[in-house]
Amino acid sequence: MLDNIQILVQAPVITLDLVLNGLLIGAIFALAAYGMALVWGVMNIINITQGEFVILGGYVAVVMGMYGLPPLLGVPVAAILLFVLGWALYHTVIFRIVDRDLFTSVLATFGISIVLQQLMNTVFGGDVQIADAGLGTVLLMDGLVALAEIKLLAFALAAVLGATLVVFLKRSRLGQAIRATAQNARAARVLGIDTDRVYAATYGLNAAICGACGALVAMAYTIHPYLGLPYTIRSFMIVVVAGLGNLAGVIIAGLGLGAAENVAGFVLGTQFQLAFVFLLLVVVLVWRNWRLARRREYLK
Amino acid sequence: MRAPYAKFAGYLAILLVGLAAPLLFSAYQSQMAELWLFIVFALTWDLVGGQMGYNSFGNVVFLGIGMYACAAVQVGLFYEVSTYNNARGGGATVFTFDLGQYLEGLAIGLPVGAVLAAIAAAILGGLVLGMRGHYFAICTLGLGIAAGQIANGWEWIGAGSGMVPPTPPAALGDLSRFYYFLAMALAIATFLVLRWLYTTRFRLAINAIRDNEDKAESMGLKTTRIKVMAWVIAAFFLGIAGGLLGNLKRFIDPIDTAFAGATFGVWMVLMAILGGKGTLWGPVIGAAVFQVVKETTWTYLLGWQRVALGLLIVVIVVFFPQGIMGYFRERFPARFGHRVEEAARPDRAEETTG
Amino acid sequence: MLHHSKLAMTALAAVSLPVTVAYAQSGDTITLGAAVSLTGKYTTNGEHTQRGYDLAVDKINGAGGVTVGDKAYTLEIKYYDDESTPARGAELAERLIQQDGIEFMLGPYSSGMTKAIAPVTEEHKVPMVEANGASRSLFTNGWEYIFATLSTSEQYLRGAITLVAEHAEELGKEPGEIKVAMAFENDPFSQDVRAGVLDDMKEYGMEAVIDDQLPRELNDMTATLTKVKALEPDLLIVSGHSKGAATAIRQISEMQVNVSVLAMTHCDSADIIGKFDEAAEYTLCATQWAPTLSYSDDLFGSAAEFAALFEETYGYAPPYQAAESAAAVQVYADALERAGELDSQKVRDALSSTDMMTFYGPIDFDETGKNVAKPMALYQVLDGEYKVVSPSDFAETDAVVPRPAM
């Protein structure tokens, strides 16, 4: 561990490489987390299927690549297909758990995620899959910092998608309805907003965001039917740290997590990378709660 | 006066069936042993989740601690644990345990596991039980995964290679049957302790915390201390269950057996909900139903059993959140000691007037 | 108190008498039992395993089945899905033996699963021929009923270490100056491969400059590979089943990590050539078997013929996982015929004296049950094909070391 720190001190450029690569994957985490925050904030549902949506989106890109279509086109296609899936899931299961406690939503969406994993395994097989966008690598500082173009592109797309979402929520009719429902569902209903439609749209929107993310993941990393969990738990972590309805927080936490994780993996050894993420989660929560406790409040 | 006798006869019947079952259906005894342990899982989860309203996804931490601690003591009394776990070399050493060593290891290992799990609960409880609602759930989820990852990186207990608990000596006889009886004894002990506990003021206190913690606190209850105590009790029994489960499964994988949040961790919650949260018998019934359904789907739906399990989870929590006991309580409130106005029950109204 | 609880447990041990098992081999069929991974993280290789078993069973039945005594039996396999979790595997093994009355077991996929199942088969004295549990620790417990057709884990990358030592001069170094970076998944198989690699490195005095353990939910190796770039080792070794192989190749090429030699396991089951083309070039891959090896038997013919049959049946070239699994069934057929009766103890004894040649290679179990007759082979990806480069008797071509800068 000390050796590893020494390397970082001696060659700061490596730290830069770690941090930059971490930021790039962090952008994808942040995007998925933004979807989760949306569903959480508007519908009061913790969506455990987040990761499976991501992987499904990845398969869209993979399948398109198989048929000779450019996988990059998979980003919008996955978003559309996943929107439909999310919408359909809302109307079969999710609508029943909107008013129930969070605990119910966690378990129910966990159940859905097992089903999705299994179906993906049956349909696409258990192989590791990738989609190849056919891009190269950008080298900086004598090749010591290497950034895959696809990751840069994914970062840029994630930023564009995030910005579009913000504008959409601020400006569009539906976006306003979603925000209104989030603030006070009852009042929204009274004012004639069809909250059921808003919920369906929100859930679909989240699935679409994840799908787009997934297409990027398939091009930049690898996918596998059972690889959704890392995205779910990190989204979770980011939302918890950033708090709900705090877009800037989600972005900062997402990017920060990506970078911190890489540095921790480097310093502690990759075997403790995930342990680090989760202990960080616990520590953040305990610390936040402890600060509240001084004012005789608590996290709830 | 008939009720106590009926109750006693009921308990006796269960005890006799439990004792006879492995002899009658010896082929199924390891699944039945697992069922007794599942009952412990569900009962202990319900103590904190159902009776106290603190939904934990992290109780596997105590299961895993108990499992590893017990196995480490069983080995450590006679061999160096790290050599035992890292004996991947040339095959020169073969680690054997005779009957005396095996039983001594178990007799010390189980309580050590239980105590360590309880201590962990006391420490962690102090940190996280201050949170409420879903933040508590999330935090415990994080604890569970982190514990698994740490065990997965810790060489002393075998890290990612897992750990094989001592090979039982041939003199022990049928291993599954041996652990069946231990698991049954543990389940009964847990049940009786909780049954007694639920007759005390402690139950009133934890129910008060569930119903309104702020009010409970303003009434002078030392809520933090009570909450931690409840978690410690749950952890103690789960720790023993972990020690037994590790030996029953004969191979401890850090993430898939010991700190198995995605399987045992979720199942314990499901079983409690399925049977009925916040009741004494609910978790027991839930565990039994769950185990039977799980084993049947595993046999008959090869390759689709996880789809079945996923759908089952959705159906249980979405359509059946009150659980089996809850259903019966609604249906036959009088049997649960709730007084019902006869006239208010349309189905009985005719009988009484007619 | 302690004494009492010990006494109680002794009493309990006394009532736990052994049970007898029902007989499942009825009529003219012999049923073998197997729990393999049809779902979960080992699905890919679980399928290879299952297909290897199935292909051999079909072939044997097509050739008249197995003659035990003077009666011909057809073979059949009862499968369960262990979901890639060891706990489940052990449970299913117990179920196969106790409830389905299986008396002859085939192994699951992966060392972890085999580790979980072996104590069960051992306890019930049911022989198990396994083809996918390579971990050395499977053979250090004094277990008597486990037989493995494959070479054990410590041999997987021995070829790679030897090769690098032999080519040390081309790298401009003494063997003892070679720096090795290791990235092994944190699971039983890879960890045991690592133990073997460490032993071999010690022999040559090589130094491990990186020793990272990859998480099982592996999706990003950036941290490890950055370290590789910083420390510039001569040899990078990666082992993490198919997922690890695919992730490593992708990120090594993307991050432009230049190491002189890259060695890994599971190249072919991850299909690194098909997925990555040039990026996979010059990778050294440990393999239990290759279609180009010159082994052959009467059932399948040559290794190449087995490969052709497999490809015709399942539409892809057989990874070695399928070949070693098929060989396991052949071993069983052979032992059953030699045993002359369907008694698990007799069959176990017959198994232990196995000495046969298969398309997969020679099979001869030592007293611990591992196959000591067959060497591991080492591929190198050259011009988009796997070419055997080691051991020297089978080598199709010379290895290219160091790999040219890409």
- Complex prediction ipTM: 0.81
Q: How far is B143 from chain A (nearest CA, A)?
A: 7
Helix (H), strand (E) at residue B120: helix B99-128
Quickly state the pLDDT bin for B182 (edges 50, 70, 90): very high
- pLDDT greater than 50 at residue B300: yes
CA distance B224 to A157: 47
CB B74 within 8 A of CB B166: yes
In chain C, which residue's Cα lies nearest the Cα of B106? Answer: C6
Structure confidence at residue A86 (pLDDT): 95
Closest CA to C83 of A73, B306, A284, B160: B306
Quickly state the pLDDT bin for A72 (edges 50, 70, 90): confident
The contacts of residue C5 (CB under 8 Å, 6+ apart) are B107, B111
In a domain, B140, yes or no: yes
Strand partners, C365: C371
Give mean pLDDT, residues C353-375: 89
Q: What are the residue boundaries of the structural domains of chain C, listed by start?
A: 22-151+292-364, 155-287+377-390
Backbone CA torsion sign across C41, C43, C44, C45: positive
pLDDT in tens, C47-74: 999 999 999 999 999 988 899 888 889 9
Contact with chain C for residue A225, Cβ under 8 A: yes
Alpha-carbon distances of B94 from B88, B109, C113, C137, C142, rounded to whole Å = 11, 21, 21, 10, 6
Count of structural domains within chain B: 1
pLDDT in tens, C183-242: 998 887 888 888 889 888 988 989 889 888 888 777 788 888 888 888 889 999 999 888
Tokens of C397: 């071509």
- pLDDT greater than 50 at residue C131: yes
Q: How far is A79 from chain C (nearest CA, A)?
A: 22
Strands C128-130 and C146-148: parallel
Quickly state the pLDDT bin for B352 (edges 50, 70, 90): very low
CA distance A30 to A159: 10
User: Which strand ranges, in their side-by-side order, compose the sheet holding C104-106?
Assistant: C66-68, C71-81, C29-36, C104-106, C128-130, C146-148
Q: Burial code of A133-159, b = ≥16 C-beta within 10 A, e = fewer?
A: bebebeeeeeebbbbbebbbbbbebbe
Structure confidence at residue A132 (pLDDT): 82
Domains of chain A: 2-270 (1.10.3470)
Domains C22-151+292-364 and C155-287+377-390 fall in the same CATH topology: yes
- The pTM assigned to this predicted structure is 0.85
Which segments within B77-168 are labelled E, that is strand?
A: none
Q: Could B263 and C87 be called an inter-chain contact, meaning their C-beta atoms sit closer than 8 Å?
A: yes
In a domain, B327, yes or no: no
Q: Could A270 and C215 be called an inter-chain contact, meaning their C-beta atoms sit closer than 8 Å?
A: yes
Which residue of B52, B149, B293, B319 is the best one to mutate when testing the A interface, meaning the one whose CB has the most A CBs within 10 A? Answer: B149
Q: Could C136 and B88 be called an inter-chain contact, meaning their C-beta atoms sit closer than 8 Å?
A: yes
Q: Could A281 and B139 be called an inter-chain contact, meaning their C-beta atoms sit closer than 8 Å?
A: yes
pLDDT in tens, A131-183: 887 777 777 767 677 888 888 888 898 888 888 888 888 888 888 898 888 88
Query: DSSP label at A271?
Result: G
CA distance B189 to C57: 50
Which residue of C42, C220, C269 is the best one to mutate when testing the A interface, meaning the one whose CB has the most A CBs within 10 A? Answer: C220
Hey, is C363 helix, strand or coil?
Answer: strand
pLDDT in tens, A216-242: 999 888 888 888 888 888 888 888 888
pLDDT in tens, C72-120: 899 999 999 888 888 888 888 988 998 888 999 999 998 888 988 988 8
- pLDDT greater than 50 at residue B354: no
Structure confidence at residue B337 (pLDDT): 66
Q: Select from 3.40.50.2300, 3.40.190.10, 3.30.2350.10, 3.40.50.720 the CATH code of C22-151+292-364.
A: 3.40.50.2300
- pLDDT greater than 80 at residue C344: yes
Structure confidence at residue A99 (pLDDT): 78
- pLDDT greater than 50 at residue C9: yes
Quickly state the pLDDT bin for B348 (edges 50, 70, 90): very low
- pLDDT greater than 70 at residue B290: yes
Contact with chain C for residue A144, Cβ under 8 A: yes
Give mean pLDDT, residues C375-391: 88
Structure confidence at residue A71 (pLDDT): 85
In a domain, B129, yes or no: yes
- Least CB-CB distance to A222: which of C39, C215, C243? C243
Quickly state the pLDDT bin for B64 (edges 50, 70, 90): very high
Structure confidence at residue C12 (pLDDT): 57
Closest CA to B305 of A115, C87, C91: A115
Q: Could C215 and A224 be called an inter-chain contact, meaning their C-beta atoms sit closer than 8 Å?
A: no
- pLDDT greater than 50 at residue C18: no
Quickly state the pLDDT bin for C139 (edges 50, 70, 90): confident
Hey, is C359 helix, strand or coil?
Answer: coil
Q: Write the single-letter amino acid at A16.
A: L
Which residue of B88, B101, B309 is the best one to mutate when testing the C interface, meaning the one whose CB has the most C CBs within 10 A? Answer: B88
Preceding peptide of C402 cis, ω within 30°? yes
- Least CB-CB distance to B131: which of A115, A236, A299? A299
CA distance C346 to A9: 65
Q: Burial code of A14-49, b = ≥16 C-beta within 10 A, e = fewer?
A: bbebbbbbbbbbbbbbbbbbbbbbbbbbbbbbbbbb
Alpha-carbon distances of C173 from C165, C204, C260, rounded to whole Å = 9, 12, 12
- Give the domain C155-287+377-390 fold: Rossmann fold (3.40.50)
Structure confidence at residue B95 (pLDDT): 76
Domain that holds residue B288: 2-300
Structure confidence at residue A276 (pLDDT): 85
| Pairwise pLDDT comparison (A256 vs B301), residue with the higher score | A256
- pLDDT greater than 50 at residue B349: no
- pLDDT greater than 60 at residue A195: yes
Contact with chain B for residue C6, Cβ under 8 A: yes
pLDDT in tens, B222-232: 888 999 999 99
- pLDDT greater than 80 at residue A1: no
pLDDT in tens, A24-35: 889 988 989 989
In a domain, B249, yes or no: yes
CB C24 within 8 A of CB C32: no
- Least CB-CB distance to A222: which of C222, C227, C250? C250
Structure confidence at residue C19 (pLDDT): 41
Q: Could A112 and B160 be called an inter-chain contact, meaning their C-beta atoms sit closer than 8 Å?
A: no
Tokens of C274: 């098909």
Mean pLDDT check: name the lowest of A29-33, B255-259, C402-406. C402-406
Contact with chain A for residue B300, Cβ under 8 A: no
Tokens of C369: 């049950």
Q: What percent of chain B has pLDDT over 90?
A: 40
Structure confidence at residue B174 (pLDDT): 81
Structure confidence at residue B341 (pLDDT): 57
Q: How far is C234 from chain A (nearest CA, A)?
A: 17
Structure confidence at residue A11 (pLDDT): 74
Backbone CA torsion sign across B125, B126, B127, B131: positive
